[in-house]
Amino acid sequence: MSWVSAFDIGTTSVKGILISKDGSIKGEKTYPLQTYYGVNGEIEQSPEEWRDGIIEICRYWMQNVKVEPEDIKAITFSGQMQDLIFASRLRVPRAILYSDTRAKSEAERINLEIHQLTEIANNPIDASSPFAKCLWMQSHQQEIYESCEAFLFSSKDYCIYELTNQLVTDPVTAATTGMMNLRKKEWQKEWLGKFEIPIAKMPDIRYPDQLAGHVTKRAAELTGFMEGTPVLSGSGDAGATTIGAGAVRENDSYLYLGTTGWAATVQKEFGESGDFMFTLSHVLPDCYISIAPLLNVGNVYLWAGKTFANGMDELEQLIAESPPGANGLFFLPYLNGERCPVNDPDAKGIFYGMTIHTKRADFARAIVEGLCYSYRQIMNLVMNDRRPASITVIGGGARSRVWCQITADVLGTEVHVPENSEYLPAVGAASNGFCYLGWVRNYEEFADRFIKADRTNVYSPLNQQIYHKGFETYEKLYPAFCLTHPPIS
């Protein structure tokens, strides 16, 4: 049997699957990753751990799943975006992750000195932008900046480099850097020259289903892949996730509940992005993805499980013990600052409405309701306050039935959870291989054939009324606290 191997290299793990021509999946495997947090807010990972995850998953396939290397016809990827990674065959420094906001002053400089950002890149430049991080490295770690072979911007770009020795990225990832012309899908050379970023160190931009290179002899020995196996450019996680959610036509929308998350909708054309939103290239060449991101999603949910319960099962039981509205308790989930709709890296989490009668279960439920209110805010942004009849929810958070039900009630819409939700970014990445090999005519056919709903959460009109009123209060909390409680230096 012939297979496409697909990897999703996220923040917490590397996930790998094998998917056959008829859509059957096997060999699901996860390799955990470590994130390094510095005393000054640094957030980094080791690219070599990403590579090691690929190697371990491949060996599992060959030794335990008994896949023959020659049966793997193409290799493709999804990966976290907005990283700054330094390709080098000598010492490989840690990658600066998308959530690292050390480059605040550099972002301010870019915004002051470039006056066509929104017209050309169509995306905001903030401290998480790779553009700003490049300037930070120029000033603070010049030796690494100058000695590296190239700059890469997605974890999957680095793994492609390890497999093929080729330096490539895709338009979805490149759109998040702040350095790509969104319409032309090419690097904005004028900007790079202005800030002395060498164009020679920028990766080639190739569409997700285009060939990046072939597995080298060295990589074949490490992984077990057959030398010469085609490796595709793949796409940044937003592109692969969008396909995995079945969002392949105009106005298709979905929510992603991962460590971080976003709300997204597909558009044929784009206007000027707001201060908090991104417009990315879609995997489909004639479409764009309008995305509003959140920094606080699954990471907050896991924190809640550790802080208010003895694990996630007990947390879900606690949530069920508190009524909709959490007995008047509200939670602003800004444990890691926030990007949208609150663009404030220094924002903090807040509980509001505690009384002598507030119970542990109310804290648990308020946390999830706060996360769902955040999604309602960004859904209103990307969909211009349009409420769809149904929406797809994917990512690790979609495994929680109680979280999905509260999402349905807060949004006032049906929530569809596809099969293999946790692995859908990898499934979406596999679509690149299907198109490359001619197994499907296009991405629409892939989504229609292989993306199926596993369950549906129907919203309660009564609960929706409670949450509609609660949302009005929630939206007032952050502005009110900013006025009454300015940051303490």
| Tens of pLDDT, residues 134-161 | 999 999 999 999 999 999 999 999 999 9
User: What pLDDT score was predicted for residue 393?
Assistant: 94
If one counts the domains in the chain, the total is 2
pLDDT tens readout for residues 85-138: 999 888 889 999 998 989 999 999 999 999 888 889 988 898 889 999 999 999
Query: What's the gap between Cα 459 and its chain centre?
Result: 26
115: CATH: 3.30.420.40
CA atoms within 13 A on the CB side of 423: 23
pLDDT tens readout for residues 201-236: 999 999 999 999 999 999 999 999 999 999 999 999
User: What pLDDT score was predicted for residue 271?
Assistant: 64
- Residue 479's Cβ-count burial label (10 Å; 0-12, 13-18, 19+) is exposed
User: What pLDDT score was predicted for residue 389?
Assistant: 86
pLDDT at 405 > cutoff 70: yes
Q: Say yes or no: 258 and 348 in one domain.
A: yes
Cα–Cα distance measured from residue 195 to residue 411, given in angstroms and rounded to the nearest whole number = 44
Q: Say yes or no: 205 and 250 in one domain.
A: no
**Which residues constitute the domain of residue 151?**
3-233
User: What pLDDT score was predicted for residue 273?
Assistant: 57
Range 323-339 average pLDDT: 95
* Higher pLDDT, residue 486 or 397: 397
Q: Are 253 and 413 in contact (CB under 8 A)?
A: no
Q: Say yes or no: 381 and 474 in one domain.
A: yes
Cα–Cα distance measured from residue 391 to residue 253, given in angstroms and rounded to the nearest whole number = 6
pLDDT at 189 > cutoff 50: yes
Give the confidence band of 489 by pLDDT, cuts at 50, 70, 90: very low
Structure tokens at 182: 């969104």
Residue 187: count of CB within 10 angstroms of its CB:
19
Domain boundary among 188, 209, 233: 233
Q: Are 195 and 134 in contact (CB under 8 A)?
A: yes
Cα–Cα distance measured from residue 429 to residue 7, given in angstroms and rounded to the nearest whole number = 7
Cα–Cα distance measured from residue 320 to residue 335, given in angstroms and rounded to the nearest whole number = 23
Is 239 among the domain residues? no
User: What pLDDT score was predicted for residue 36?
Assistant: 95
The side-by-side arrangement of strands in the sheet containing 43-45 is 36-37, 43-45, 95-96
User: What pLDDT score was predicted for residue 204?
Assistant: 98
Q: Say yes or no: 282 and 223 in one domain.
A: no
pLDDT tens readout for residues 350-395: 999 999 999 999 999 999 999 999 999 999 998 887 888 899 999 8
Lowest mean pLDDT among 83-87, 137-141, 280-284, 474-478: 280-284
Going by the DSSP 8-state scheme, the letter that residue 459 receives in this structure is: P
Q: Give the distance between the most distant pair of CA atoms in the chain.
A: 67
Closest CA to 258 of 240, 270, 272: 240
Cα–Cα distance measured from residue 266 to residue 229, given in angstroms and rounded to the nearest whole number = 32
User: What pLDDT score was predicted for residue 436?
Assistant: 98
Q: Are 349 and 333 in contact (CB under 8 A)?
A: yes
Mean predicted lDDT score pLDDT of the chain: 93
Q: Say yes or no: 130 and 277 in one domain.
A: no
Query: What's the gap between Cα 179 and its chain centre?
Result: 19
Q: Say yes or no: 176 and 296 in one domain.
A: no
User: What pLDDT score was predicted for residue 275?
Assistant: 59
Is 65 among the domain residues? yes
Distances (CA, A) of 432 to 203, 268, 375, 473: 19, 20, 29, 44
Is 484 among the domain residues? yes
User: What pLDDT score was predicted for residue 171?
Assistant: 96
User: What pLDDT score was predicted for residue 161?
Assistant: 98
pLDDT tens readout for residues 36-65: 999 888 999 999 999 999 999 999 999 999
* Higher pLDDT, residue 12 or 211: 211
Q: Say yes or no: 447 and 330 in one domain.
A: yes
DSSP assignment string, 177-246: TT-EETTTTEE-HHHHHHTT--GGGSPEE--TTSEEEE--HHHHHHH-PPTT-EEE--EEHHHHHHHHTT
Which residue type does 436 have? Y
CA atoms within 13 A on the CB side of 313: 0
CA atoms within 13 A on the CB side of 19: 28
User: What pLDDT score was predicted for residue 486?
Assistant: 63
Tell me which residue has tokens 């796409």. 235
Cα–Cα distance measured from residue 280 to residue 130, given in angstroms and rounded to the nearest whole number = 15
* Higher pLDDT, residue 271 or 29: 29
Q: Say yes or no: 228 and 269 in one domain.
A: no
Q: Are 370 and 330 in contact (CB under 8 A)?
A: yes
Cα–Cα distance measured from residue 283 to residue 278, given in angstroms and rounded to the nearest whole number = 15
Is 240 among the domain residues? no
Domain boundary among 204, 233, 262: 233
Q: Say yes or no: 274 and 193 in one domain.
A: no
* pTM exceeds 0.75 for this model: yes
Query: What's the gap between Cα 330 and its chain centre?
Result: 26
Is 146 among the domain residues? yes
pLDDT tens readout for residues 442-468: 999 999 999 988 899 999 999 999 999
Residue 273: count of CB within 10 angstroms of its CB:
20
Domain boundary among 233, 268, 301: 233
Q: Say yes or no: 301 and 202 in one domain.
A: no
pLDDT at 485 > cutoff 80: no
pLDDT at 482 > cutoff 90: no
User: What pLDDT score was predicted for residue 368?
Assistant: 98
Q: Say yes or no: 123 and 196 in one domain.
A: yes
Which stretches of 305-349 are assigned E, i.e. beta strand? 330-332
**433 sits in which H/E element:** helix 424-437
Give the confidence band of 272 by pLDDT, cuts at 50, 70, 90: low
Cα–Cα distance measured from residue 98 to residue 95, given in angstroms and rounded to the nearest whole number = 9
